[in-house]
C-alpha cells in the first residue's frame, strides 16, 4: 500500500521540478521591455510590468514578478522607466515652411511624436506626407490630413506674403465650394477644415458634406457666424479657441452686425487684411465685456456637442512674450536646417523685443477659458501649429503639454490630450492611444515619471513606432543639421 502511493508522488515531484526548469517564456519574432512602469491614459500607472512587442502590436503584458523570461528573448531593461503611448501633435502644418516639411517627420519621431494631424496645406503638398507615412509605418509618424483650409471669397492664406503662404482654397460661391470640397473628399482627406471667411451658406454645405462622408469638420468659427450655430451645424472641433470670445460678449449682437457689414468688403481688402482688421476691432473689446450668462450658454453647448478643443496655448504664449527672442528658445534651433535657421533669425531680429500686452491679456484669457472648459468636461487635444511661431516640430508638443497642465489639467489628463484623445477623435481608440494588449505598439519610453512633472515627457530614452524600437542614439541621428 505504502509503495503504491509513494511512486506517483515521486513522479509528480519530478514533473514539478522539470516544469520549473522550463517555466521560462520565450517569444518568437518579438522583443520584451522588462520591468517597466506603464502609464495608460485611462487606467493610470501600473508598476513593474513586462511588455512583449510582436510585429507592430503590444502582444502581451505581464506583471514582472509573475513570469520568468527565457534568456533567448531580446530584452530591453525597463527598470525605473516609464512607458507611455506615442504622442500626437494634433495641429501642425507641413506646408507652412515648405523647405522644413521634409525634415519634420524625423523631428516629430525623435521627440516621441508618433502621429500628427496636419490642419491645413495644399492637398498636393500634404498628400505625399500621408502616402510616405502609410508606406513606411515603422520609420515615419502617422499623418492625418485635412488638405487646404476651406475658405470663402476673400481667403486669408492666399500666398500673398511669407506670413500668409498658400494654405487655403478660395471659394467664391457655394457651388464652387461644393465642387472643390468633393475633390478633397475624392482624394481621401482624413477630415476637413473650415476657415474664417466662409459665408454661413458655404459653412452649412461644408458641414453637410463632412457629415455625409463621415469626416470630422474642424476649424475656426467663421466671422460671419456664431459659435453655437456653427457647432450645432456640425463643427466637431475648434482650433485656437478662435473667435470664441465674439459669441460671449455682452454686445454680441452689435459686434455681429458690425462684422456682417464689414465682411461685404466694400474696400476690396485682401482676406488677411480684412480678417486682422476685424480681430483688432473686436477681440479685446469682447474679452473685456464677457457676459457670464452668454458664456455659460456657449460652454454648455460645446459640452453637450462634445466639441473638441485644440487651444494651441504655447503658440499664444510664444507670440505674446516674444519667447522666440530668448536664448533658451533659440537654443533648440540647431535642430532645424541652417537655411531655415538663418531665415528665422532674420525674421526674429526684425521684430520688437517688447512683450505684446494685448496678446498677453488674450493668452491669460485663453488659459482661463481652457480651465473652465475642462471643468465642463469639454474634451481637449494637444496641438501646437508648428512651425508657425518658430515652434520646433516635436519639441513644441511637450511645451503645449506644460501649458495644458498649467491651465488646470492633471498630468494624466494632459497626457490624455496627446494620446487617447486624438485616437478617439479619429475613431481609432480601440487600437491606438493606450497601453493594452492588442493595441498598436506606438510607444515612448521615459526616464522620469510624467505623472510627477509633465516636463518629464521630454526625458525620452526610446521611441517605438509600429513596433520598431529606436534608441536615443538613433533618435539623435534623426535630428536635422
Ligand atoms: Zn494652424
18: pLDDT strictly greater than 90: no
Q: Name residues whose C-beta falls within 8 Å of residue 127's C-beta, 6 or more positions apart in sequence.
A: 145, 147, 187
Per-residue model confidence (pLDDT) at position 19:
45
29: pLDDT strictly greater than 90: yes
More confident residue, 479 or 366: 366
Total residue count of the chain as it appears in this document:
481
CA 316 to ligand 1 center in whole angstroms? 12
Q: How many angstroms separate the Cα of 427 from the Cα of each of 9, 190, 298, 338, 430?
A: 56, 11, 26, 39, 8
Peptide bond into 235 cis (omega under 30): no
Over residues 144-163, the mean pLDDT reads 95
Over residues 91-113, the mean pLDDT reads 97
CA 87 to ligand 1 center in whole angstroms? 18
**How far is the C-alpha of 441 from the C-alpha of 108, rounded, in Å?**
17
Please, is 460 exposed, middle or buried when counting C-beta atoms within 10 Å of its C-beta (0-12, 13-18, 19+)?
A: buried
Per-residue model confidence (pLDDT) at position 23:
86
CA 462 to ligand 1 center in whole angstroms? 29
Residue 472 CB coordination number (10 Å): 14
> What percentage of the chain carries pLDDT values higher than 70?
95
CA 388 to ligand 1 center in whole angstroms? 8
Over residues 71-92, the mean pLDDT reads 98
CA 387 to ligand 1 center in whole angstroms? 9
7: pLDDT strictly greater than 90: no
Strand ranges inside 342-459, DSSP E? 443-446
Residue 211 CB coordination number (10 Å): 14
Per-residue model confidence (pLDDT) at position 314:
98
Q: Are strands 149-150 and 142-145 parallel, antiparallel or unpaired?
A: unpaired
CA 413 to ligand 1 center in whole angstroms? 23
CA 92 to ligand 1 center in whole angstroms? 6
CA 118 to ligand 1 center in whole angstroms? 8
For residue 36, give the 3-state DSSP assignment.
Answer: strand
114: pLDDT strictly greater than 60: yes
**How far is the C-alpha of 148 from the C-alpha of 119, rounded, in Å?**
8
pLDDT in tens, 305-345: 999 999 999 999 999 999 999 999 999 999 999 999 999 99
Q: Are 416 and 39 in contact (CB under 8 A)?
A: no
CA 243 to ligand 1 center in whole angstroms? 14
CA 65 to ligand 1 center in whole angstroms? 47
**DSSP-assigned letters across all residues of 307-358:** -EEE--HHHHHHHHTTGGGSHHHHTTGGGS-HHHHHHHHHHHHTS-SS--HH
**Going from the N-terminus, what domains does the chain have, and what CATH number goes with each?**
15-80 (2.30.40.10), 86-433 (3.20.20.140)
15: pLDDT strictly greater than 50: no
Over residues 465-471, the mean pLDDT reads 98
Per-residue model confidence (pLDDT) at position 8:
53
Q: Position of cell 482654397?
A: 169
CA 481 to ligand 1 center in whole angstroms? 25
Q: Name residues whose C-beta falls within 8 Å of residue 224's C-beta, 6 or more positions apart in sequence.
A: 197, 198, 199, 200, 203, 259, 260, 263
The three cell numbers of residue 300 are 454648455
The three cell numbers of residue 248 are 460671449
CA 120 to ligand 1 center in whole angstroms? 7
99: pLDDT strictly greater than 90: yes
CA 389 to ligand 1 center in whole angstroms? 10
CA 351 to ligand 1 center in whole angstroms? 21
CA 123 to ligand 1 center in whole angstroms? 15
The pLDDT-based confidence of 9 (bands split at 50, 70, 90) is low
**DSSP-assigned letters across all residues of 176-196:** HHHHHHHHHHHTT-SEEEE-T
CA 205 to ligand 1 center in whole angstroms? 22
For residue 37, give the 3-state DSSP assignment.
Answer: strand
What residues pair up with 36 in beta bridges, in sequence order? 49
When the pLDDT of each residue in the chain is averaged and rounded to a whole number, the result is: 95
Look up the pTM and report it.
0.94
4: pLDDT strictly greater than 70: no
pLDDT in tens, 231-250: 999 999 999 999 999 999 99
The three cell numbers of residue 89 are 501633435
Backbone φ, ψ for residue 33 (5° rounding): -105, 110
CA 58 to ligand 1 center in whole angstroms? 33
CA 452 to ligand 1 center in whole angstroms? 31
Per-residue model confidence (pLDDT) at position 162:
84
CA 119 to ligand 1 center in whole angstroms? 6
12: pLDDT strictly greater than 80: no
Per-residue model confidence (pLDDT) at position 2:
43
Backbone φ, ψ for residue 447 (5° rounding): -80, -25
Q: Are 40 and 435 in contact (CB under 8 A)?
A: yes
Alpha helices in 111-194 (DSSP H): 123-135, 174-186
pLDDT in tens, 267-295: 999 999 999 999 999 999 999 999 999 99
pLDDT in tens, 331-389: 999 999 999 999 999 999 999 989 899 999 999 999 999 999 999 999 999 999 999 99
Amino acid at each position: 500500500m505504502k509503495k503504491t502511493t509513494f511512486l506517483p508522488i515521486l513522479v509528480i515531484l519530478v514533473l514539478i521540478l522539470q516544469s520549473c526548469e522550463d517555466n521560462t517564456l520565450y517569444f518568437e519574432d518579438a522583443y520584451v521591455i522588462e520591468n517597466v512602469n506603464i502609464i495608460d491614459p485611462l487606467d493610470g500607472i501600473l508598476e513593474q510590468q513586462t511588455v512583449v512587442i510582436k510585429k507592430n502590436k503590444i502582444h502581451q503584458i505581464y506583471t514582472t514578478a509573475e513570469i520568468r523570461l527565457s534568456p533567448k528573448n531580446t530584452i530591453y531593461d525597463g527598470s525605473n522607466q516609464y512607458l507611455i503611448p506615442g504622442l500626437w501633435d494634433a495641429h501642425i502644418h507641413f506646408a507652412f515652411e515648405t523647405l522644413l516639411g521634409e525634415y519634420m517627420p524625423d523631428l516629430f519621431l525623435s521627440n516621441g511624436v508618433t502621429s500628427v494631424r496636419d490642419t491645413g496645406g495644399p492637398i498636393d503638398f500634404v498628400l505625399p506626407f500621408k502616402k510616405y507615412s502609410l508606406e513606411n509605418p515603422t520609420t515615419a509618424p502617422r499623418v492625418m490630413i485635412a488638405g487646404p483650409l476651406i475658405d470663402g471669397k476673400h481667403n486669408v492664406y492666399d500666398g500673398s506674403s511669407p506670413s500668409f503662404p498658400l494654405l487655403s482654397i478660395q471659394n467664391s460661391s457655394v457651388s464652387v465650394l461644393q465642387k472643390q470640397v468633393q475633390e478633397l473628399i475624392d482624394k481621401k482627406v482624413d477630415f476637413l477644415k473650415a476657415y474664417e471667411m466662409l459665408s454661413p451658406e458655404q459653412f452649412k454645405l461644408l458641414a453637410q458634406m463632412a457629415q455625409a462622408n463621415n469626416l470630422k469638420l474642424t476649424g475656426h468659427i467663421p466671422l460671419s457666424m456664431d459659435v453655437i450655430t456653427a457647432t450645432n451645424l456640425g463643427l466637431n472641433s475648434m482650433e485656437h479657441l478662435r473667435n470664441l470670445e465674439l459669441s460671449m460678449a455682452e454686445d454680441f449682437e452689435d459686434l455681429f452686425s458690425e462684422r456682417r457689414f464689414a465682411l461685404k468688403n466694400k474696400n476690396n481688402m485682401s482676406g488677411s487684411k480684412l480678417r486682422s482688421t476685424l480681430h483688432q476691432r473686436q477681440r479685446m473689446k469682447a474679452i473685456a465685456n464677457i457676459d457670464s450668462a452668454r458664456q455659460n450658454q456657449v460652454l454648455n453647448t460645446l459640452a453637450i456637442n462634445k466639441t473638441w478643443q485644440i487651444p494651441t496655448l504655447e503658440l499664444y504664449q510664444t507670440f505674446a512674450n516674444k519667447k522666440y527672442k530668448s536664448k533658451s528658445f533659440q537654443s533648440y534651433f540647431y535642430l532645424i536646417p541652417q537655411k531655415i535657421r538663418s531665415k528665422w533669425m532674420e525674421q526674429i531680429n526684425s521684430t520688437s523685443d517688447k512683450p505684446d500686452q494685448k496678446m498677453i491679456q488674450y493668452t491669460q484669457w485663453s488659459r482661463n477659458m481652457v480651465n473652465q472648459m475642462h471643468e465642463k468636461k469639454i474634451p481637449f487635444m494637444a496641438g501646437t501649429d508648428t512651425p508657425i511661431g518658430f515652434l520646433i516640430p516635436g519639441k513644441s508638443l511637450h511645451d503645449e503639454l506644460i501649458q495644458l497642465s498649467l491651465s488646470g489639467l492633471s498630468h494624466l489628463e494632459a497626457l490624455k490630450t496627446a494620446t487617447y484623445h486624438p485616437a478617439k477623435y479619429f475613431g481609432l481608440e480601440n487600437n491606438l492611444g493606450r497601453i493594452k494588449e492588442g493595441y498598436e505598439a506606438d510607444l515612448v519610453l521615459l526616464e522620469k515619471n510624467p505623472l510627477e512633472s509633465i516636463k518629464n515627457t521630454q526625458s525620452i530614452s526610446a521611441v517605438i513606432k509600429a513596433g520598431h524600437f529606436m534608441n536615443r542614439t538613433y533618435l539623435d541621428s534623426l535630428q536635422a543639421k
